Amino acid sequence: MAGIPEHLLKRAQEAREKAAAGAGGAAAAPAADNSRISDDLLNRNKGAVAVAEKVGNVVVAAPANGGVPFGAGPGGHTQRLLTVVKSGSIQDVKAVPVDKVHTWPHLLGIEFVAALACTAFTFVFSWFVNAPLLQAANFNQTPNPSKAPWYFLGLQELLTMFHPMIAGVTIPGMGLIALMFAPYMDRNESNRPEDRKFMTSLFTVHLMFWAVLVIIGSFFRGPGFNFVFPWREGIFFEL
């Protein structure tokens, strides 16, 4: 009963005092007190008692003579306040913080701004930096050295070391498959680099492997695609 407010306890105490003060008058006129409760209500109360006994509930039973039930409150009511449950104990009114946000506008808004920034940079760069087209290709004269675009120079460099099947299919295919299975091998959800050593090492090895091949093919290959030192023979590379 520690959870009952003070004003309810005070009202119950006053009701008990009034009932005790009027006990003499109630004994002198029992017929008038019995008239407060109709036969219909008494029958319903007896039925509720029988049902409660079957299910094991504890209720206040009405006496056999049809009088006021024992332990009844003011006015003969058998309903009593057991406790007052505060709202905080049955419902959570505080928002639980989560680490997830909606794709729109949090992600797509940032990506859209990044796309606009890249477009503006490309526009300004093309305005100030001239990128002329070369003359028409002459099929009677092959340039020496003949190099692929820089993003394919890694494959061209591999062709100088391995068989075309290994350099063009096996090694790139194994690298792509390894990157595809990497998220399933490392299921750590942390965003901190020190907690993702496996993924960091794997991507670093992949990036450095390809970057070294592109750098060698771009600056260390001369006429005949032979190995040269750029500070001695010059740079045989054009964007």
- Looking at residue 57, what is its pLDDT? 45
Does residue 120 surpass a pLDDT of 90?
A: yes
Residue 10 structure tokens:
């005070």
Q: What is the mean pLDDT of residues 50-79?
A: 54
Return the pLDDT at 3.
Answer: 58
CATH of the domain at 211: 1.10.287
In a domain, 160, yes or no: yes
Instruction: Report d(CA 214, CA 149) in Å as an integer.
Output: 10
Per the domain annotation, does 157 fall within a domain? yes
Q: 198 with 224, same domain?
A: yes
Same domain, 123 and 63: no
Q: Which has the minimum average pLDDT: 23-37, 66-80, 182-196?
A: 23-37
Residue 93 lies in a domain: no
Give per-residue pLDDT as tens, 151-209: 899 999 999 999 999 998 999 999 889 888 888 888 888 888 888 888 888 889 989 99
Mean pLDDT score across all residues of the chain? 77
The count of structural domains within the chain is 3
Domain containing residue 62: 6-87
Question: What band does 34 get if pLDDT is binned at 50, 70 and 90?
Answer: very low
Which has the closest alpha carbon to 229: 219, 218, 217, 214?
Answer: 219
- Would residue 76 be called left, alpha or beta, if left means φ above 0 and alpha means ψ between -120 and 50 degrees? left
